Structure 1
Amino acid sequence: MGESAAGDRLTEKRKERYRVWRKHLMADPDLAEDLTRLERDPAALAEAFGDDLRFGTGGLRGVMGAGTNRMNRFTVRLATAGLARYLKGQGTADRGVVVAYDSRRWSDVFAKETALTLAGAGIPVYLFEDIRPTPELSFAVRELGAAAGVVITASHNPPEYNGYKVYGPDGCQAVPSLAEAIVREIDQVEDPFAVITADEQEAVRAGLLRRLGSEMDDRYVARVRQLTLAEGPGDGAVDKRGAGRPGVLATLVYTPLHGTGGKLVPRVLKEMGHWVVCVEDQMRPDPEFRTVSSPNPEDPAAFDRALELARQLKADAALATDPDCDRVGVAVADGHGDYEYLNGNQVGVLLLDYILERRKDLGALPDRGVMIKTIVTSEMGRALADAYGLETIDVLTGFKFIGEQIGLLEGTGRSFVFGYEESCGYLIGDFVRDKDGVQASALVAEMIAYHKRSGKTLLDRLEELYRQYGYYRERLVSVSMPGAEGQTRMTGMMKGWREAPPREVAGLAVMEVQDYLVSRVRRADGSEGKLELPRSDVLKFVLEGGQWFCLRPSGTEPKLKIYFGVRGKDEAQARELVDRLHRAVMERVEG
């Protein structure tokens, strides 16, 4: 009886919430049509109004539309009002906030709502005049000494999604402690419809709203170009396909997948001397991403049009950045007329190898260098770092934790050298504190030219590294679990693995169970230890021989992500190991 009464009260609360929102939304041209559609679909209506869109460690991300559980101008105002309260409480509001946005539907609207809500609270805002890469937002926060940054993006999610990511004064995405502090302030904002927003023209006249454009682009591009490890403009093989183009180092095909990368990536590559041909119909911003099944450079299918062009040109490689240009994917010539896609672990290892080799040759390798990676990224990077005397720091999934560690290194005498994650995110220069598709594109192109000078492709160099360090193979499987039912299933599955962990998997003994939710590691000999990382619902199983797999509910999508990592004596053994481990784990997940 008690449960029924509680359920009735919850239902009535949701109905009241819906009535309040309906009153306001029916006057909103962007949302009235969506609300009318929802009223004909009770299940969709319950999903849209049954909960609040949660502000997580990166901010907000969700489907766009009417409702408290959707991305719309009112949920954006609510989050921004909380951010404004937080900055005023910190006494840093007068330093201002930088706001950027990508090419998604309503991104420009949400960016302006963010800016005018901050201005309405008396906080200065630097708003980019047009779409810009997310890493440039990180750079601008640091360059301007701002108190925070906000970028409107949902990265590579499907077209119906958008998001709201918050950055701290260091240019790093909000880590849990900052996100929790902002959430406490958001909770104090009771009525999103009562949030004050400034008039745009009045905000400009009062000096509270300022536009950022080409000048900030120039400052950012200059810093990216300083990352070069080439000895000079002639340090590389001139590409004969670029005949008549002095100084051309590599022939590249590039696509921004309808996103923000088209603003700066071709410019940087051309200024560095490479011959770049763009996939023209994907250079145009398109919130529907009509020419790709998914605007995700982790998906080889995203390269279909780029590779058609690359084959015609006999290009060295095709590069693709995601809509907010913080990730880059790479497909390279295989020497036989076709192309092979390199996954994020492989590109990361190749970049680390190039950076370490070149910095050693140039006498620029620090005595106490540090490489930072996530716990689900290949262990091959650690092997390379060890060989060059670098320290490796492991962090939880999410580039914000890599950015945070860079800040913690300051003043310790240790130097950041490289940071990466398996999902095609890389960082070379710490003037940005997020993964950077512009930086990575520049260094990948330079790396291609460097190895071409010795008659090698990136595939040739990767094979050399495998022979030297072992044949590492990784795999990621995403199990979709949508809706409330899927969330319940995912929670139960993690509980089951946590409370009844296997002693062996695929014939391999489990040596360690690393449980990041309770910050403990349990070993096969019965001993336990503490994990020095933030708490997170992640389980990693380390097996004999150093093989491993990891279970992690996605923080941005209704999916359970399962990562696998193995090392074999040759390619055949590595493939057999990862296949066997994959089958064994999925039997339990799907059973």
Structure 2
Amino acid sequence: MEYRKKYQQWLEFPGMDEELSQELTKISLDENEIANRFSKEIAFGTGGIRGRMGAGTALINIYIVRKVTAGLARYLLNSCPQVGKAPSVVIACDTRRNSERFVRETAEVLSSIGIKAWVFPEPTPTPLLSFAVRELQASAGVVITASHNPPADNGYKVYGSDGGQITDCQAQAITEQILQVENELTIPGGDLEEAKNNGLLELVGAEVDNLYFKHLQSISLSSSWWGKGSLPVRVVYTPLHGTGGKAIPRALANAGITDLFLVSEQLELDPNCSTVQYPNPEDWEVYNLAIALGKEKEADLLLATDLDADRLGAAVRSISGRYVPLTGNQIGCLLLDYILSQRKKQGKLPANGIVIQTVVTSEMGKAIAADYGVETVETLTGFKYIGEQIKERVDTGQNVFLFGFEESYGYLAGDFVRDKDGIQASQLVAEMTAYYKYRKMTLLDALEQLFFAHGYFQEELVNLKLAEGELYRVEQGMNQLRGTHLLEMNGLKIIRADDYLKQLSTDVQGNQTPIGLPASNALKYILEDLSWFCIRPSGTEPKIKIYLGVKEDSADKATAKLSALKEKVLALVTGLEMRSL
């Protein structure tokens, strides 16, 4: 049994990390656990690696971090001479357990091979890493983070020289180099003090942060409706024990938000995230402390970011004093309308401007953009593809970037960052709340106006969790669905089926046209009333993701239609091989 041989190799390795050694000894009589940890290696993909920390080749630990870094280094050494400069990498991390140690391991491996490492001196928001890669003209960036995953998880995310997440082709090339690293236990590291003396290690200075915050001023739109002075809004913010605790208060203060109240219990950089089960701003339970503080301070707005501060959640105080959470789609559509309307007032709405959103994001975004005469560009699921479109269409001078967003609480307004940016979003949502308050409105009123103008759009994401042993069902189920010619759903004809793996769109007559997007294991169906649903496996967790969207002429009708569609689609999916209930 190969996994048992690998386990013994780790168990008997003389230099094994003490904590991991104890773990290995503890599982010595548990054959299933040994098999789970050593029968495979954690897979590197476009999002890098992400998963549970612990001993084993299928988990995240210092040896796997070293191996991935060695593969990344080989890739950079092969590719950077082609662009005529020595490679360098910017490294940052969030507040998770072992994150700072993984940063050191990454820097040691890189510097030992002769690649310069720029390291942030403390846990840092991912948007600042993206900005620093561009500003320092680095070859790549690495963020040690698992975003909103449980505290027991961690990850290793790689960015390209443009500050965006690596492309599919780059991920494949790095994977090939990782696979050539034979023994993760014997990868040499370097001495960081020596690396510093040799110019192969340098801390990212405050001047990079300062320049980022200077750029933040360029996305503010308040000059068209407000003079100087504090903006009329009261805001509660929580970083959920993550990296946003310094950056976002600074951004809000610079934007004129003086009535800012921080959830003190969640300011601590706590790797265990002791006050929440999951540090996820999509989860309404994480707002309990913010709600209590909001009621005490009569705040208009509650804001929360995840551990690496790239995603933002928000809740709005209603007339009754109750806080109402906004979905990622609703926040994105509100921001889109605010940005386009203020740019139009200022005469700064370019004819070649574009909005970029993913194929599972609300159709209301397209309707809003069209109302302003702005083109919407659709991408595959994942903000990395939004960053790629900025590189392809904006950096080449073809278009001007106006806004990008996805349903999973990711937004970007200023393309000086090339990934979702919770700092930018916090500033703009607070500013937008002040704008509507100045007009005697709340964001809920503004959302109702959008519904009245464009229709009542509602969306939902359903996650079907899978056990590790059920993962094989995903491929079976997707293949079964792909081979099924669906004609109707929820009593309505299916007028189009988009197969992103085959990269073909098929209409009701059977005519096929190329989709024009990279291959991805996802299927989207559009019904005759333009309702839709999309099914795909999660790229980072053992889940099947089902996205649903409807449009109606009232909120009640939209709710009823969404509920009926959800029931039918779930019946379809649970009838496939991909899930046993």
Equivalent residue letter for 2:459: E
1:355-374 → structure 2 map (5 Å cutoff): 355-374=339-358
1:243 — aligned with what? none
Question: 1:457 Cα deviation (Å)?
Answer: 0.3
2:60 — aligned with what? 71
CA contact (8 A) 1:81 1:186 kept: yes
Question: 1:149 Cα deviation (Å)?
Answer: 0.3
Match of 2:135 among 127, 133, 143: 143
> SS where residue 223 of structure 2 aligns?
coil
Aligned length, in residue pairs = 570
Percent identical among aligned pairs is: 46
Write out per-residue CA displacement over residues 394-444 of structure 1, whole angstroms, 9 at most, x where no aligned residue: 101110000000010122431110000000000000000000000000000
Question: 1:490 Cα deviation (Å)?
Answer: 1.9
Report whether the alignment pairs 1:225 with 2:217.
yes
TM-score, with length taken from structure 1 = 0.94
Match of 1:258 among 218, 233, 241: 241
> SS where residue 24 of structure 1 aligns?
coil
> SS where residue 299 of structure 2 aligns?
coil
1:446 — aligned with what? 431
Question: 1:200 Cα deviation (Å)?
Answer: 1.4
Report whether the alignment pairs 1:551 with 2:543.
no
Match of 1:107 among 99, 103, 111: 99
- 41-50 vs 152-161, which moves further: 41-50
> SS where residue 350 of structure 1 aligns?
helix
Match of 1:542 among 526, 543, 558: 526
- 87-96 vs 294-303, which moves further: 87-96
Question: 1:272 Cα deviation (Å)?
Answer: 1.6
2:32 — aligned with what? 43
Report whether the alignment pairs 1:90 with 2:79.
yes
Match of 1:560 among 544, 557, 566: 544
Equivalent residue letter for 2:351: D
Write out per-residue CA displacement over residues 465-493 of structure 1, whole angstroms, 9 at most, x where no aligned residue: 10000000000000001202x21222222
Question: 1:284 Cα deviation (Å)?
Answer: 0.4
Match of 1:433 among 377, 402, 418: 418
Report whether the alignment pairs 1:465 with 2:450.
yes
> SS where residue 18 of structure 2 aligns?
coil
Separation in structure 2 between the aligned mates of residue 159 and residue 39 of structure 1, nearest angstrom: 25
CA contact (8 A) 2:107 2:117 kept: yes
Question: 1:38 Cα deviation (Å)?
Answer: 2.3
Question: 1:132 Cα deviation (Å)?
Answer: 0.3
Report whether the alignment pairs 1:421 with 2:413.
no
Match of 1:482 among 463, 467, 470: 467
Question: 1:213 Cα deviation (Å)?
Answer: 4.0
1:324-339 → structure 2 map (5 Å cutoff): 324-339=308-323
Aligned in 2, Cα 1:138/1:253: closer, same or farther, shift over 3 Å?
same
Separation in structure 2 between the aligned mates of residue 248 and residue 460 of structure 1, nearest angstrom: 19
Equivalent residue letter for 1:428: A
> SS where residue 151 of structure 1 aligns?
strand
CA contact (8 A) 1:25 1:31 kept: no
What is the RMSD of the two structures over their aligned residues, measured on CA atoms?
A: 1.4
Separation in structure 2 between the aligned mates of residue 42 and residue 200 of structure 1, nearest angstrom: 39
Aligned in 2, Cα 1:578/1:28: closer, same or farther, shift over 3 Å?
same
2:124 — aligned with what? 132
Equivalent residue letter for 2:340: L
CA contact (8 A) 1:25 1:66 kept: no
Equivalent residue letter for 1:567: K
Write out per-residue CA displacement over residues 90-132 of structure 1, whole angstroms, 9 at most, x where no aligned residue: 1356241100000001000111101110001001110010000
TM-score, with length taken from structure 2 = 0.96
Separation in structure 2 between the aligned mates of residue 215 and residue 473 of structure 1, nearest angstrom: 43
Separation in structure 2 between the aligned mates of residue 412 and residue 219 of structure 1, nearest angstrom: 24
**Structure 1 residue ranges (4+ consecutive) displaced by more than 6 angstroms after TM superposition:** none
1:320 — aligned with what? 304
Question: 1:186 Cα deviation (Å)?
Answer: 1.1
> SS where residue 236 of structure 2 aligns?
strand
1:389-428 → structure 2 map (5 Å cutoff): 389-409=373-393, 410-428=395-413
Write out per-residue CA displacement over residues 115-156 of structure 1, whole angstroms, 9 at most, x where no aligned residue: 110001001110010000001000000000000000000000
Equivalent residue letter for 1:532: G
CA contact (8 A) 1:153 1:162 kept: yes
Question: 1:271 Cα deviation (Å)?
Answer: 2.1
CA contact (8 A) 1:26 1:35 kept: no
Equivalent residue letter for 2:65: V
Equivalent residue letter for 2:241: H
Write out per-residue CA displacement over residues 361-406 of structure 1, whole angstroms, 9 at most, x where no aligned residue: 0111111110000000000000011111111111011100000000
> SS where residue 54 of structure 1 aligns?
coil
Question: 1:319 Cα deviation (Å)?
Answer: 0.0
Equivalent residue letter for 1:268: A
Separation in structure 2 between the aligned mates of residue 411 and residue 159 of structure 1, nearest angstrom: 40
Equivalent residue letter for 2:202: R
2:578 — aligned with what? none
> SS where residue 91 of structure 1 aligns?
helix
Separation in structure 2 between the aligned mates of residue 573 and residue 201 of structure 1, nearest angstrom: 65
Match of 2:495 among 481, 499, 511: 511
CA contact (8 A) 1:141 1:148 kept: yes
- 350-359 vs 178-187, which moves further: 178-187
CA contact (8 A) 2:150 2:277 kept: no
> SS where residue 94 of structure 1 aligns?
coil
> SS where residue 329 of structure 1 aligns?
strand
Separation in structure 2 between the aligned mates of residue 163 and residue 501 of structure 1, nearest angstrom: 38
CA contact (8 A) 1:95 1:145 kept: no
Separation in structure 1 between the aligned mates of residue 524 and residue 16 of structure 2, nearest angstrom: 50
- 193-202 vs 148-157, which moves further: 193-202
Separation in structure 2 between the aligned mates of residue 358 and residue 38 of structure 1, nearest angstrom: 60
Aligned in 2, Cα 1:307/1:220: closer, same or farther, shift over 3 Å?
same
Report whether the alignment pairs 1:121 with 2:110.
no
CA contact (8 A) 2:224 2:346 kept: no
Equivalent residue letter for 1:430: D
Write out per-residue CA displacement over residues 292-346 of structure 1, whole angstroms, 9 at most, x where no aligned residue: 1221111111111101110111101100000010000000011111110000000
1:574 — aligned with what? 558
Match of 2:150 among 141, 150, 158: 158
CA contact (8 A) 1:63 1:162 kept: yes
1:383 — aligned with what? 367
Equivalent residue letter for 1:133: P
Write out per-residue CA displacement over residues 241-296 of structure 1, whole angstroms, 9 at most, x where no aligned residue: xxxxx624311000000101112001111222211110001010111111112211
1:590 — aligned with what? 574
Separation in structure 2 between the aligned mates of residue 505 and residue 39 of structure 1, nearest angstrom: 51
2:230 — aligned with what? 247
Separation in structure 1 between the aligned mates of residue 328 and residue 110 of structure 2, nearest angstrom: 37
Question: 1:216 Cα deviation (Å)?
Answer: 2.0
